[in-house]
Structure 1
Amino acid sequence: MVQQWEEDLKDWVAGWDAVRGTEVPPQNVVAWNGEVPSKEGLVLVCAEDQAVMVRGAVNVKEKDVLSRDILMTGAVQELDRGLSFPGESGMFDAPMGDVTRFEVDEWGKPIAHSTLSVQDEVAYMGPLLADASVERDPAEVLDPLVSSMANEAFLADAERMYTVVPEDEVPARESQGWERAAVVLRLG
């Protein structure tokens, strides 16, 4: 049975590449189909219950898994929770070609940012970055930032959002309404 992330693969990968920028070559991302292609610089995406089997197949091909991340997804309407920013914080967005940069400022100083790329019915959100020097729970600004970006994705007619995060960021994303969709393995 094909999962939604597989149907959306071309679009969320295009968004992922757009968020990464033009100075970085496009990624070679494929869904696990039972075989490890011999291509260099491959990114394999598989269901979580297949990750151990995929690692075994990668080892047989004498390749290395350079990193293991998690593909997260959420319905745009579920991620848009109408959250507001704390205190004197406000958000600004700037279209930049295939992506829009979102920045949260407080008293004129940037305290958090991310990027969003919309491809048809799919939006891809880049990494969420918060200023570590600000003494507050990062969720106070990052959760409303995700909510605002989901609202923008909704206005652009996207139905689903995706993001790729390291395993240690999964709990913070789940608290924002994201769900695990798949495992992303970068091969070397």
Structure 2
Amino acid sequence: MAQQWEADLKDWAAGWDAVRGAEVAPQNVVAWDGTVPSEDGLVLVCAEDQAVMARGAVNTQGKDVLSQDVLLTGAVQELDRGLGFPGEAGMFDAPMGDVTRFEVDEWGKPVAHSTLSVQDEVAYMGPLFADASTERDPAEVLDPLVSAIANEAFLADTERLYTVVPEDEVPARESQGWKRAAVVLRLG
């Protein structure tokens, strides 16, 4: 039986490509079925309990795993926690084709941003960026930003939100309401 991320793979992968931008070649994202396709630039996605087996299969084929990240997911209604921005911060959004950029500004200065791509019943959220020059905890602006983006995804009639992050970002994302869905292996 396919997991939800597998059923949504075509749509969240299209959102991931849209967030990455037109200047970057589209990725060939496939769910691991026990085999490693021969294409170059492949992104292999598997359940967490299959990651070691998938990496072994990749190595057997003479390919390298360039990076290993985590696919996170969440129901938009659960990720939208109705959080407000601190102090004088406010959010602005700018539609840019298949992607909408969200920016948090405080006193006219950008302090955080991310992007969203809506694809049918799912949406894909790009990386979160916070201004490292401020002394505040980045979660003070990033958590409300995720909440606001989830609200926008909900208003666009999507049910689920996906994002791909490095392993070291997972704890901060889990505190925002995200859940681990799969492992993402970028092959060389």
Matches within 5 A, 1:1-188: 1-188=1-188
- Give the match's secondary structure for 1:144: helix
Instruction: Tell me how far 1:155 sits from its aligned partner.
Output: 0.3
Instruction: Give CA deviations for 1:11-45 in whole Å, capped at 9, x if unaligned.
Output: 00000000000010100000001100011110000
TM score, norm. by length of structure 2: 1.00
- Give the match's secondary structure for 2:22: coil
Q: Which amino acid aligns with 1:178?
A: W
Instruction: Tell me how far 1:163 sits from its aligned partner.
Output: 0.1
Instruction: Give CA deviations for 1:87-137 in whole Å, capped at 9, x if unaligned.
Output: 000000000000000000000000000000000110100000000001100
- Alpha-carbon separation, structure 2, partners of 1:33 and 1:156: 32
Q: Which amino acid aligns with 1:175?
A: S
Runs of 4+, deviation exceeding 4 Å: none
Instruction: Give CA deviations for 1:49-69 in whole Å, capped at 9, x if unaligned.
Output: 000000110111011000000
| Matched positions, count | 188
Q: Which amino acid aligns with 2:99?
A: V
Instruction: Give CA deviations for 1:124-177 in whole Å, capped at 9, x if unaligned.
Output: 000000000011000000000000000000000000000000000000000000
- Give the match's secondary structure for 1:153: helix
Q: Which amino acid aligns with 1:17?
A: D
- Give the match's secondary structure for 2:163: strand
Q: Which amino acid aligns with 2:22?
A: T
- Give the match's secondary structure for 1:148: helix
Give the RMSD, CA atoms, in angstroms.
0.3
Q: Which amino acid aligns with 1:73?
A: T
Q: Which amino acid aligns with 1:65?
A: V
Q: Structure 1: 5+ residue runs without aligned partners?
A: none
Q: Which amino acid aligns with 1:182?
A: A
- Give the match's secondary structure for 2:83: coil
Q: Structure 2: 5+ residue runs without aligned partners?
A: none
